[in-house]
Amino acid sequence: MRPAARDAGAGSALGATVRTYLGHLAVERGLAANTLSSYRRDLRRYVQVQDGRGRADIADITEGDVRAYLVSLREGDADHPPLSAGSAARALAAVRGLHRFALREGLAAGDPAHDVKPPTPPRRLPKAISLAEVERLLAAADAPSGGDTGTARGLRDRALLELLYGSGARISEAVGLDVDDLDLRDGFARVAGKGGKARVVPIGDYAREAVDAYLVRARPELARAGRGGPALFLNARGGRLSRQGAWMVLRAAADRAHLSEVSPHTLRHSFATHLLDGGADVRVVQELLGHASVTTTQVYTLVTVQLLREVYATSHPRARS
């Protein structure tokens, strides 16, 4: 981004209020670095838009200005592509937080964002693959070099994918694990979820065996290429495997297993769906996934109900006329 665009409004009273608010989020609210980065990016654009509308102080902003900002997010401009409903809602959440803070601190007489509602994203059912497809994917993980199984990379890739499916962890949570976060004897790992919130996830027998094989037979070899470190999953240079690197592992395994439309969240979605199909309580699945609200988890129950309908429609003699 050009320096002029990056610094737009930086010297205004509105820019100063934004910096004060970000400091409040970092120090008093203790928001994670990634979350702060998102807020900073969204609010920087908000300052640019309001600066262009002649609003140099947060006390000058009206409800119409906030609505115009939301419209600009959805429509995009020469420097920004149009945002989806979900991304626009996230950006608006940062703005709403800023105005609540300004009202509470006496920096503005009202909250112009209070009645501005975020756009409703289309409801999409999570994509899950069948157990047979999961097994094909996992089997394909340990073959990074044309079927050469048992290599350091192959053992790492199998351990990574087994852990993702066996625990329901996000890819970012898995690559963030250190060796000391694991307890293979009792079968659990401590992961850092969204907002830095820690939770304990189980590790099943298959994942435990795969991770143990990787730790004993592969990680020491990978670690020799680097300076050492606590990370569980290492790349070829001995450093921590990145989220992008993990995504490439998943994509390569999916290609070898002839599976299409496999995303970084596929194994997490499959973990939740298969648990519910097996009779797990939705609140238990909520805890395992680290969802703050059971409403987020309940979308998976729609997947299982849809499956039941399909089975009924194709199996019951009087399901169709």
Tell me, yes or no, whether 173 and 272 share the same domain.
Answer: yes
Tell me, yes or no, whether 96 and 140 share the same domain.
Answer: no
Round to whole Å and give the CA distance between 244 and 143.
19
Does the residue 266 lie in any domain? Answer: yes
Helix (H) or strand (E) holding 151: none
Query: The domain that contains 163 carries what CATH number?
Result: 1.10.443.10
* Average pLDDT rounded to a whole number, residues 127-131: 87
Catalytic residue among 194, 199, 251, 256: 194
* Average pLDDT rounded to a whole number, residues 186-213: 87
Coil, strand or helix at 281 = coil
Model confidence at 126, pLDDT cuts 50, 70, 90, reads low
Q: What are phi and psi of 168, to 5 degrees?
A: 75, 10
Tell me, yes or no, whether 276 and 190 share the same domain.
Answer: yes
Look up residue 217 and give its amino acid: R
pLDDT of residue 125: 61
pLDDT of residue 270: 87
* Average pLDDT rounded to a whole number, residues 171-183: 94
CA atoms within 13 A on the CB side of 261: 5
What is the DSSP-derived secondary structure letter of residue 291?
-
Does the residue 145 lie in any domain? Answer: yes
Does the residue 152 lie in any domain? Answer: yes
User: Which carries the bigger pLDDT value, residue 165 or residue 32?
Assistant: 165
Whether 154 shows a pLDDT value over 50: the answer reads: yes
Tell me, yes or no, whether 152 and 15 share the same domain.
Answer: no
pLDDT of residue 33: 85
What pLDDT, in 10s, does the model give residues 211-260?
A: 999 999 999 999 998 887 999 999 999 999 999 999 999 999 999 999 98
CA 171 to centroid of chain Cα atoms: 8
Tell me, yes or no, whether 96 and 183 share the same domain.
Answer: no
Domain boundary among 68, 87, 104: 104
Tell me, yes or no, whether 39 and 180 share the same domain.
Answer: no
Does the residue 123 lie in any domain? Answer: no
Whether 289 shows a pLDDT value over 50: the answer reads: yes
Cβ within 8 Å of residue 139, ≥6 positions away: 257
Q: Decide if 268 is catalytic.
A: yes
Per-residue burial over 258-293, b if 16 or more Cβ lie within 10 Å, else e, is ebeebebebbbbbbbbbbbeeeeebeebbebbbbee
Catalytic residue among 44, 170, 269, 274: 170
User: Which carries the bigger pLDDT value, residue 115 or residue 286?
Assistant: 115
User: Which carries the bigger pLDDT value, residue 5 or residue 153?
Assistant: 153
What pLDDT, in 10s, does the model give residues 97-106?
A: 999 999 999 9
Tell me, yes or no, whether 213 and 69 share the same domain.
Answer: no
Q: Decide if 274 is catalytic.
A: no
Please state, rounded to an integer, the average pLDDT across all residues of the chain. 84
Confirm if 118 and 88 have CB atoms less than 8 A apart.
yes
Does the residue 115 lie in any domain? Answer: no
What pLDDT, in 10s, does the model give residues 291-313?
A: 766 666 666 666 565 655 655 56
* Average pLDDT rounded to a whole number, residues 191-200: 81
Number of domains in the chain: 2
Catalytic residue among 44, 156, 268, 269: 268
Coil, strand or helix at 289 = helix
Does the residue 276 lie in any domain? Answer: yes
Model confidence at 268, pLDDT cuts 50, 70, 90, reads confident
Catalytic residue among 24, 100, 127, 265: 265
Does the residue 114 lie in any domain? Answer: no
Rg (CA), the chain: 24
> To 10 degrees, what angle do helices 152-167 and 243-256 make?
100
| Residue 299 domain boundaries | 131-313
Does the residue 69 lie in any domain? Answer: yes
Q: Decide if 194 is catalytic.
A: yes
Q: Decide if 269 is catalytic.
A: no
pTM: 0.57
pLDDT of residue 107: 94
Whether 89 shows a pLDDT value over 70: the answer reads: yes
Dihedral sign (CA 288, 294, 296, 298): positive
